[in-house]
Structures are given as C-alpha cells and as structure tokens.
Amino acid sequence: MVQLDGDGQHDPAYIPDMLKMVISGEADLVLGSRFLDQSATDGSSSLRYKAGMARKLGIVLFAFLTTKLVGFKITDPTSGYQAFNKRVLAFLTQDFFPCDFPDADVIIMLNRAGFKIREFPMYMSKRENGKSMHGGIKPVYYVFKMFLSMFMTLLRKTPTSIY
C-alpha cells in the first residue's frame, strides 16, 4: 500500500521503486525522504526541500529524536509519502494507531514492534494548491501532541505484530 499527500507535492513516479523495496522484503515501511541525498550512498542528508524556519526546526527536532529512539538515522519523520506491506497495514488497523497527525510516534512504534523501516530519497514539489494542515496555531498543538505521543509510545507495552 502507498500513502501520499493529495496536494500534488508528491510525485507518483517514485511508487514503483518504493514498492520494490517493500515487495523484496528490504523494508516493511518505506518513508519518502525530502532530505535524503539521492546521490549519496552513506545515508547523508541534503536539504533540497525548502521549508520555513519553524517547520524546518520542527522537522530537524523530530528527526533527531526519532533517530535517537529507533537507533538508526531517520531524516524525514514527518513524510506523508510512505509505502508499506500488509503486515504493517494489519498492525496499524489495531488500537495502536493515533487518530491525528501520525508521524514520528508511528515510526517509533513500528520500530519497537520489529518492523524494518527504510527511507527512500525523493523530491517534493512546492505546494501549488490548498493549505497546509499546519497553519495558524496548529503547529503549537502538533509539537505538543508529538512530544506527548512519542513519550506515551515509549511508556506503552511494546506492541507486537499479529502477523
């Protein structure tokens, strides 16, 4: 299954390569990363995506925390472009899935449940239509919610996959 934002920023041309990683068993969840350098083989990041200062700070903060909590580098924990297998889908249909803004907390939860997570380098276009869901006061709520959700994810019993 592939999830991508409906605002035209995610190029569907990446879908076959992302699914190939899932189908081959290389990953259970593939995150499309705006920051992973396509030419680098060492997992280095390249800030090709231009975000506002507040958004960039939030992404860097949550990337740092997620990386520390999962034990491997995650460059884009807020990516809305993901591919995953049926085991992840079945897991996420249980009571573990948060009802709003699932991002870093879900990556941490899936890692704790033993799923293999990889990132895939991709380019994200500028928004041409619509509004970001993170406008107005919502970023303050988002940051608070993500800190709380990440903390609660660590306190919860380690979830197990039913498959």
In a domain, 97, yes or no: yes
Instruction: Assess if residue 161 is contained within a domain.
Output: no
Cβ proximity of 66 and 109 under 8 Å: no
Domain limits for position 106: 2-155
Angle CA(110)–CA(41)–CA(21) in degrees, nearest 5?
45
**Inter-residue contact 149 to 98 (CB < 8 Å):** yes
Q: In the chain, how many domains are there?
A: 1
Residue 162 falls inside a structural domain: no
Does some domain include residue 16? yes
Q: Is 156 exposed, middle or buried (CB count within 10 Å of its CB: 0-12, 13-18, 19+)?
A: exposed
The predicted structure's pLDDT at residue 28: 98
Tens of pLDDT, residue by residue over 67-116, are 999 999 999 998 889 999 999 999 888 876 666 656 888 899 899 999 99
Say if 160 falls within a structural domain: no
Q: What is the DSSP letter of 8?
A: S
Segment 17-70, tens digit of pLDDT:
999 999 999 999 999 998 887 655 445 444 455 666 677 787 888 899 999 999
pTM of the model: 0.78
Which among 102, 54, 58 is positioned nearest to 82, based on CA atoms? 102
